[in-house]
Amino acid sequence: MNYKDIYEQWLNDGRLCPEGKKELEAIKDNEEEIEYRFGAELAFGTAGLRGIIGYGTNMMNIYTVKRATQGLSEFIKTLGEEAKKRGVVISYDTRRKSDEFAMAAADVLAANGIKAYVFPDVHPVPMLSFAVRCLKTIAGIMITASHNPKQYNGYKVYGEDGAQMNPEDTAKVLGFIEKQTDYLGAPAADEVQRAKLIKAVPSAVDRKYYRALKKLTLSKEAVKKCGKNLKLVYTPVHGSGYIPVTTILKKIGINATVVEEQTRKDPDFSTVEVPNPEFKETLSMGIALAEKIGATVVFGTDPDSDRLGVAVKNKSGEFEALSGNQVGILLLDYILTRLKEDGKLPANAAVVKSFVTTGMARAICNKFGVTLFEVPVGFKFIGDKIKQWEKDGKYTFVFGFEESCGYLRGTHARDKDAVVASMLCAEMVCYYDYKGKTVSERLEEIYKEYGYVLDKNVSIQYHGLNAMKEMNAVVDGLKTKPVTKFDIYRVAYIRDYSKDIKTEVATGETSPIGSPTTNCVYYELENGSFICVRPSGTEPKLKIYYSVKANTKADAEEALAKMQEAVEKLLKSVAAQ
């Protein structure tokens, strides 16, 4: 059937809810909208589903959620009765329809004889990850679209280790989902099944989570002396981080002034343009409050509280938003410094970062004698390293981070945790206050010690049903283009992550990267800088990453401008092929 036939089928199906029928009737004369909604199926990728809320096969709605959950249920049933008894834990954030989608997923699981634990109120990603491990469930579901605009929602699946489901199991779940051809036909639980199999997540899980985080504190003396009088501003940006972040700060003795207007669970995120705390504009209300009370640091979490954004007052007296790379550098430096000062830095300590994250991490790790590992983009790959080392004992995980404002200390969770990152951020402010300096001043000291590194990523937006295909085609085109330099910056190696091959440009010799495969091209430059191009796995954007090493900020900015111009020319030549 073509998209028009599928649209008519949905519209005339008596099982379609009144809201869906009304919404689809309203677009009957809009062929472009009908094609968008029914011309494709919402892709179930490595991060699950994510799309605009609305009715249709290519949208986030109760029917796409139920279909995905039926596929997950079929997968769980192949694992046996014990897996069904262990069940699935479900959490959700403050987005529109998040609670409705969570209960719809629980209902489908129950209809399949699978136990479902549902949080009684919004809870963030890290607490879902922790709950999977704490309750020993076979899987987890998180209803969220992370930091996407308010029109979006999503559905993320977690494995029994608390990390996002691995590619092998995801492929199996996808196979079962694709067999569910009747979108409106997912089974519904009866009252007996609901009463027997749908349970609230015990409140003890929250308490255990906070106890796990308290064990990760690093500067008790500084917190004891400075914590109560600390001038620090926090905003949850209307998301699920409000209760957990303020709770853990209170438990460790740190005072933070909260942006009250942004504590409300507002699915429209009405005080910001987008709920992404990486942007200074998203933190603007926090910055205004910081100016009022004389604070030097503002931090905020996104709707599902797995990302942390930070703004600091610089030496000019102005607030500047730090990049995810800069926050990662600060936290890495702080964690390793404190562990070493207290004689608690393990001899086999390891740090894990995504390969698109700042090159400065290696210099910091080298100074402290810590091994640095690089993995593909996606926090599940950091989780894989933790799991591996728990089995073989070769390394001790101390910190993991991604440039997209995702950080994890501890092994209580296997995904980005903005709650523990908020705790560490606040504690770090205390520590430097105790030492008589600001966070901004410490960042400047780091640049002086290791040299300046300017990290920037640029996103090119794609539109339409073929967006993902078009983005991947660009990356594939780059693989066929021989590149020896970007302006005056020579390329030393080219990594093709889709084939796990690293090529030395000067000799043509190849060697394995030793990484899981993903569609990405990475250019190592001779001076230690890098350029990387990859399609986003969660939204229709082609992402270009630059990490530029230079003596000064001015030199780095000049070099970045030249690199960007050279990359633009390269992309145009690929498009012209």
C-alpha angle 448-451-452 in degrees, rounded to nearest 5? 100
Q: Tell me the DSSP string of 160-177.
A: TTSSBPPHHHHHHHHHHH
Nearest to 319 by CA among 309, 329, 328: 309
C-alpha angle 185-78-183 in degrees, rounded to nearest 5? 15
**Backbone torsions φ then ψ of 321, nearest 5 degrees:** -80, 125
The answer to whether the CB of 335 falls within 8 A of the CB of 442 is no
Sign of CA dihedral 103, 109, 113, 116: negative
pLDDT score, position 575: 81
Report the distance separating Cα 503 and Cα 493, nearest Å. Answer: 5
Instruction: Considering the candidates 91, 146, 323, 529, report the single residue annotated as catalytic.
Output: 146
CB half-sphere exposure, 17, CA atoms < 13 A? 9
Q: Tell me the DSSP string of 440-506.
A: HHHHHHHHHHH-EEEEEEEEEE--STTHHHHHHHHHHHHHTS---EETTEEEEEEEETTTTEEEETT
pLDDT score, position 43: 87
Kindly list the domain boundaries of the chain, sorted by start residue.
1-39, 43-202, 209-450, 453-575
Q: How much is the CA Rg of the chain, to the nearest whole Å?
A: 24
Report the distance separating Cα 487 and Cα 485, nearest Å. Answer: 6
Q: Which residues, 6 or more positions from 481, have their beta carbon under 8 angstroms from its beta carbon?
A: 570, 573, 574
Q: Is 98 a catalytic residue?
A: no
C-beta contacts of 179-184 below 8 A and 24+ residues apart: 179/71, 179/74, 180/67, 180/70, 180/71, 183/10, 183/57, 183/63, 183/64, 183/67, 184/10, 184/13, 184/15, 184/16, 184/63
Superfamily of domain 209-450 in CATH is: Alpha-D-Glucose-1,6-Bisphosphate, subunit A, domain 3 (3.40.120.10)
Tens-digit pLDDT string for the chain (577 aa): 899 999 999 999 999 999 999 999 999 999 999 999 999 999 887 678 999 999 999 999 999 999 999 999 999 999 999 999 999 999 999 999 999 999 999 999 999 999 999 999 999 999 999 999 999 999 999 999 999 999 999 999 999 999 999 889 999 999 999 999 999 999 999 999 999 999 999 999 999 999 999 999 999 999 999 999 999 999 999 999 999 999 999 999 999 999 999 999 999 999 999 999 999 999 999 999 999 999 999 999 999 999 999 999 999 999 999 999 999 999 999 999 999 999 999 999 999 999 999 999 999 999 999 999 999 998 999 999 999 999 999 999 999 999 999 999 999 999 999 999 999 999 999 999 999 999 999 999 999 999 899 999 999 998 877 888 889 899 999 999 889 999 989 999 999 999 999 999 999 999 999 988 899 999 999 988 999 999 987 778 899 999 999 988 999 999 999 999 999 999 999 887 7
pLDDT score, position 79: 98
Report the distance separating Cα 260 and Cα 265, nearest Å. Answer: 11
Of the CATH numbers 3.40.50.620, 3.30.310.50, 2.40.50.1070, 3.20.20.70, which one belongs to the domain with range 453-575? 3.30.310.50
pLDDT score, position 576: 75
pLDDT score, position 319: 97
E runs forming strands in 146-212: 152-158, 198-200
Nearest to 387 by CA among 87, 135, 170, 129: 129
Hey, do 43-202 and 209-450 end up sharing a CATH topology, with the first three levels equal? yes
Assigned CATH class of 43-202: alpha beta
